[in-house]
Amino acid sequence: MSFTRASNIGYFARSGDPALSEGYVSGFFSRVIRNKHEGECITFKHNTIYVLPSFTGFGFIAVSALNFVLGINYQNNLLLGVAYLMIMLLVVSIIYGYLNMNGTHVKLVAIKSAHCSVPPTVIFELSTKASLQQLSIEHNLLKQQISVPSVQTREHINVPFELPRGKHVLGRFKFVSHFPFGLVSVWSYLYCRKSIYAYPDPLVDSAQRQMFESHKKDDQFTHSSTHLSDELKQLTPYQSGMNMHRISWRHFAKTQQLLIKDYEGETGAQTLGFDFDHLQGNVEERLAKLCYLVLQADQHNLSYALKLGPRLIAAAQGEQHKVKCLEALSDF
């Protein structure tokens, strides 16, 4: 649904990532936008809001001119009146369109990197003093703009991306509103230098499973049976990034304390090594398989190392390690 035209206004064409954009003029504007709108939050105000009649608005002006010519030639005051009324409506729309956007605060709350199919999502927080109507968010990596019918005081907006595997610089988000009557385009930008990762989707097949099993059986990687059968060794306080599955909820219910169950003979006992070069298939397949291995290892709370060509990620475990590995896989 919507104002697909929006992005075609003026020079701010959807020319892709500013860094890649071509042409001197658009390049110049991209630089201006980058300098002016960079950051993780922005308040739309007089020096960051751009207003122009929209495509519909220009059509409206043309129809007004037509009415004006008819009014003059037929000496018809009512037709002239309609022509003037239309121009005044456009001007009033500009004022209300501007005021609609004015004072809105946009904050990039979270960048949720995820597997391509999840998908990776960016979350914005929009807050306004008055209500904000008919906003849409555009980005050159988005196929369809996200439309927000109205924001009363505060709202969180999810922007899910459909991305190919990789590391993507977020770049320029465009916030557009055509609020009153669709006659004007009122827009602003947020330029973010941060990156979002689209992890490969895990790929499961028997060969991999066998390999995973064979790694387990390998002498090099000493393996004891799964922790479920093990005796509880101790409870340690929870720290962020630790496996949620291992929280002792029973303790939480009693003492409101988050504790992690540690099992006998677990720590450092098993270390797995995943090597890109040892896998079969093309690059994407191998990465997808590696992704599966990393996830499996993490789920089983195993320590693992990852070798991606020349890059080696030393063996470790835990959430942060997993993320590091996944990011490495995305960025390969």
Partner 1 sequence: MISNQFVITLSYLLITLVPVTSFGVAFNVLMLLLAIWHGILVIKKNNGVRNSLINLIAITGMVITGLSVGIQNTVELFVALMLLACQLKVLQATTTKQWQQIYVLNFFTLSSVFLFSQSLYIALMVLMLLGVNLVAMLQVQPKTSLAFASKFTLTKVLISMALSILLLIFMPKIPSFWQMPGPTLAKTGLSENVDPFDIVNLAKSDELAFRAILNDRTQAPMGNKPLYWRAIIHDKFDGTQWRMSNLQNVSSNLTANLQLAPYKIIAEASNLPWLYALEHAVSPTKLVNNNYFGTLYRTDKITSTFEYQVQAANIRQQTSMPARQYRFNTTLPEQLNPKAQALAKQWDLDSANTNEFIELMRRYFSSQGFRYTLTPNTSESKHKIDEFLFDYKNGFCGHYASSAAILLRSAGIPARLVSGYLGAEYNKQQGYFSVYQYDAHAWVEYFVPNEGWKTLDPTAWISPQRLLGSLSEHQTLADEFQDNLGLSLVAWSNFTAINWLRLHLEQLDYQWTRWVLNFDQEKQTSLLQSLLGTKGKQWAGALVIFVISAILLLLFFYLQRHQQVKEPLVVKRYRQLIELSDKDLSAAPPKRAIDELTQQFSSHHEMLLQFYADFAADRYQGKSFGKNQNKHAKNLINSIKTKAKR
Per the structure block, which two tokens stand in for 91?
Answer: 């001007």
Member of 20, 32, 91, 204 binding partner 1 (CB under 8 A): 91
Q: Which is nearer to partner 1, 67 or 303 (CB)?
A: 67
Least gap, CB of 132 to partner 1 (angstroms): 11
Q: Which of residues 123-152 bind partner 1 (CB under 8 A)?
A: 129-130, 133-134, 147, 149-150
Least gap, CB of 91 to partner 1 (angstroms): 6
Total chain residues near partner 1 (CB under 8 A): 52
Indicate the helix (H) or strand (E) that contains 17.
none
Q: Which is nearer to partner 1, 14 or 194 (CB)?
A: 14
| Interaction between residue 171 and partner 1 (CB under 8 A) | no
| Interaction between residue 118 and partner 1 (CB under 8 A) | no
| Interaction between residue 3 and partner 1 (CB under 8 A) | yes
Member of 15, 21, 26, 56 binding partner 1 (CB under 8 A): 56
CA distance 18 to 126: 24
Member of 12, 60, 124, 191 binding partner 1 (CB under 8 A): 60
Scanning 83-91, 210-218, 244-252, 289-297 for contacts with partner 1 by CB under 8 A, the matching segment is 83-91
Enumerate the β-bridge partners of residue 148.
135
Per the structure block, which two tokens stand in for 228?
Answer: 């479920």
Q: Which of residues 241-270 bind partner 1 (CB under 8 A)?
A: none
Residue 129 per-residue DSSP state: S
Are the C-beta atoms of 106 and 128 separated by less than 8 Å?
no
Q: Which is nearer to partner 1, 137 or 302 (CB)?
A: 137
Q: What's the burial of 21, exposed, middle or buried (CB within 10 Å: 0-12/13-18/19+)?
A: middle
Q: Which is nearer to partner 1, 4 or 224 (CB)?
A: 4
Of the candidates 307, 326, 304, 301, the residue with the CA atom closest to the CA atom of residue 316:
304
User: Pairing state of beta strands 271-275 and 303-308?
Assistant: parallel
Member of 25, 35, 47, 77 binding partner 1 (CB under 8 A): 77
| Interaction between residue 70 and partner 1 (CB under 8 A) | yes
Least gap, CB of 293 to partner 1 (angstroms): 45
Alpha carbon 42 to chain centroid distance?
Answer: 17
Member of 7, 48, 93, 270 binding partner 1 (CB under 8 A): 93
Per the structure block, which two tokens stand in for 191?
Answer: 């330029």
Member of 20, 69, 110, 314 binding partner 1 (CB under 8 A): 69
Least gap, CB of 154 to partner 1 (angstroms): 12
SS3 content of the chain, % helix, strand, coil (to 5): 35, 30, 30
Member of 41, 51, 52, 80 binding partner 1 (CB under 8 A): 80
Strands (E), the chain: 41-43, 50-53, 105-112, 114-115, 121-127, 132-139, 146-151, 154-160, 166-177, 184-199, 232-237, 259-263, 271-275, 303-308, 311-316
